[in-house]
Amino acid sequence: MISAAAVARSERVQKTASERSVLSQLLHGLNQPLTGLQCAMEVALVSTRTVEQYAEGLRQGLELTARMRALVEALREVADFYDEPVASATAALTEISQLTGPLPQAVDEIRPLAEANQVRIVLALSGSASSLPGAKQKSYLTRVLFRLLDSTLSMAAAGTELRVASGADTRAGWLRMQWQAKEKEAHAALSRPELGLLIAQAWLERAGCEWERETTDEEETLTVRLPRSG
């Protein structure tokens, strides 16, 4: 029989692995533009170049620096999540156990941007919105959901739908987002929308959620499984 202590150790190991996964992606993403900037500077010193060539090298260096700055900001935000006591993160579980309140609020706030991007948001809820106290307040969970919606919306191709669904059984809930992704840029492995998803993933996993993302040729699906109660 597995002891409670063993279960707790297993949960800590899984949480640590999850944290390393997000941080490792960010660190790997930071290494790419950093290496590119170093190579560009070394090339510039190898031989005499024209003014135009130096100017182009500076433009490329600024682009790489901007990417590194965005990654460092994401690393700092994720590190802040992990530095908080676990109790602070899990304090949100009462609120996060049901999404029927803050989710429509976040969707309403993002609709003007969706219209500007020519993406239609389709929301499907299971449950009663009145079941979550204080749903009208601007909670931290609402801001995390807004970041999720903003990131997935930025990835969705114009003229398509961003389908958002939420449901729950007697013990746990889930959130699912599905969208048809626009064509990715060659260097956009960790674009700003991707960074937004990683930051949201870090917070949600810190609060005990499970994060699943699937990509096919036709669409992407993101599923967040909420912590089980009891």
Distance of CA 126 to the CA centre of its chain: 24
Tokens describing residue 195: 């960074």
- The whole-model pTM stands at 0.72
Tokens describing residue 135: 């749903």
* Confidence at residue 191, expressed as pLDDT on a 0 to 100 scale: 85
* Confidence at residue 101, expressed as pLDDT on a 0 to 100 scale: 65
Report yes or no: 172 and 228 within 8 Å, Cβ to Cβ.
yes
* Confidence at residue 227, expressed as pLDDT on a 0 to 100 scale: 74
Amino acid (1-letter code) at residue 72: V
* Confidence at residue 114, expressed as pLDDT on a 0 to 100 scale: 94
Half-sphere exposure of 162 (CA within 13 A, CB side): 26
* Confidence at residue 80, expressed as pLDDT on a 0 to 100 scale: 77
* Confidence at residue 99, expressed as pLDDT on a 0 to 100 scale: 58
CA distance linking residue 204 with residue 49, whole number of Å: 50
* Confidence at residue 136, expressed as pLDDT on a 0 to 100 scale: 42
pLDDT tens for the 230 residues of the chain, in order:
334 443 343 344 344 445 568 888 888 888 989 999 999 888 888 878 888 988 888 899 999 999 899 999 988 888 877 666 555 445 554 455 555 567 888 898 899 999 999 999 999 987 543 333 333 445 667 778 888 999 999 999 999 999 999 887 666 778 899 999 887 654 456 788 989 999 889 888 877 788 999 988 879 999 988 776 55
CA distance linking residue 222 with residue 172, whole number of Å: 17
* Confidence at residue 215, expressed as pLDDT on a 0 to 100 scale: 87
